[in-house]
Amino acid sequence: MRRKKRRLKKSVRVTFALMSALFILVSTIWVMDIGEAKSNEGQERVEKVMAKETGEQQTANKQTDEAKEKAAEESEEGPEDEPIDSVTVDEPDQQGESTVDQSGVEESSEDKQAQEEQALQESVYLTFDDGPNENTEDILNVLERFDAKATFFMLEPNMRRFADSVKDMAAEGHAVGMHGVTHDATKFYQSSQSVVGEMKKGQETLESITGIHSNLIRVPYGSVPNMTPAYRSAVDQAGFHMWDWNIDSEDWRLLSEEYVPNVMNQINAFPYENSPKIILLHEKDVTLENLEELLIDLTEKGYSMKAITQQMDPVTF
């Protein structure tokens, strides 16, 4: 009886052991199948993504190649297909552009001319003859207080004597020119060579003092009546720009403050439209004494005092 029980127990244990082993084996196989299935599924997903990207890239490459081929075909066919259009369409446009540009040029030229005329109406040009001398520095000081520029037509011996004043003129932005050497009509107007010779000597002296090569000149006593056509031609050929004046202060005659209203009266009745107002002055004591009054009157009238430039058209008698 005991042996039967032991055998039964042993049989049960063996059966349980076999069942456990079988269960473990089945479980292991099941887990491995699941892992493999997941691995296969992941691999399939990767392969699908790669296939999709590859397909998209191939499509993009194909589209790019097709676009390039189409552009190449259009480029090759364009000149042959559109020669008539390019002529019939572009030619009128070019004409239109030319018309617009020409109109712009004309308008710009008219605007520039209007501005120049306006500047002439609002400006005066003070010119001083016969210097430099003992009054020059004081004249420069008065001009500086009013921010006024002037033009100095100087005699060659005086330039050498008052070289520092000549340097100051140039440094302060005034225009500098020549008035000859002798200021003696019998000597200066002896011939065309004497006229040009005196101006060239003054030009050389001025350049040696200031470094400025000026072509501005004013002949003694003005160009009428001594500057004959032959003299004028000689001056032009030498490259000089001869200036006279159209407002005479008469400070050389009045010798008093009366020259100031004389100037203002001539300005108010100025008859030369579109011509710069060129005022004749001298570096005299009376000129200096009343120069401030003249500049006050000019400023109150709205005028600016400017220097003659070598680009301006000269005023002559």
Task: Identify the pLDDT of residue 82.
Answer: 42
Q: How confident is the model at residue 264 (pLDDT cuts 50, 70, 90)?
A: very high
CA angle, 154 then 160 then 166, to 5° = 55
CA dist 31 and 37 (Å) reads: 10
Which has the minimum average pLDDT: 31-35, 134-138, 190-194?
31-35
Q: How confident is the model at residue 293 (pLDDT cuts 50, 70, 90)?
A: very high
Q: What is the pLDDT of residues 160-184, one digit of tens each?
A: 999 999 999 999 999 999 999 999 9
Q: What is the pLDDT of residues 59-112, one digit of tens each?
A: 545 555 555 555 555 545 444 444 434 333 344 444 444 444 555 555 577 776
Closest CA relative to residue 299, chosen from 119, 123, 118, 115: 123
Do 210 and 167 form a contact (C-beta atoms < 8 A)? Answer: yes
Percentage of the chain lying above the pLDDT 70 cut: 64
Q: How confident is the model at residue 44 (pLDDT cuts 50, 70, 90)?
A: low
**Average pLDDT of the residues of the chain:** 80
CA dist 18 and 16 (Å) reads: 5
Over its C-alpha atoms, the chain yields an Rg (Å, rounded) of 51
CA dihedral 190, 193, 194, 195 (to 10 degrees): 100
pTM: 0.66
Is 275 in a helix, a strand, or coil?
coil
Enumerate the active-site residues: 129, 282
Q: Give the end-to-end CA distance of the chain in Å, rounded to a whole number.
A: 166
Task: Identify the pLDDT of residue 140.
Answer: 98
Average pLDDT over residues 144-167: 98
User: Is residue 261 scored above 90 in pLDDT?
Assistant: yes
Task: Identify the pLDDT of residue 265.
Answer: 98
Comparing 243 with 100, the larger pLDDT belongs to: 243
Task: Identify the pLDDT of residue 111.
Answer: 73
Q: What pairing do the DSSP bridges indicate for beta strands 277-282 and 247-248? A: parallel
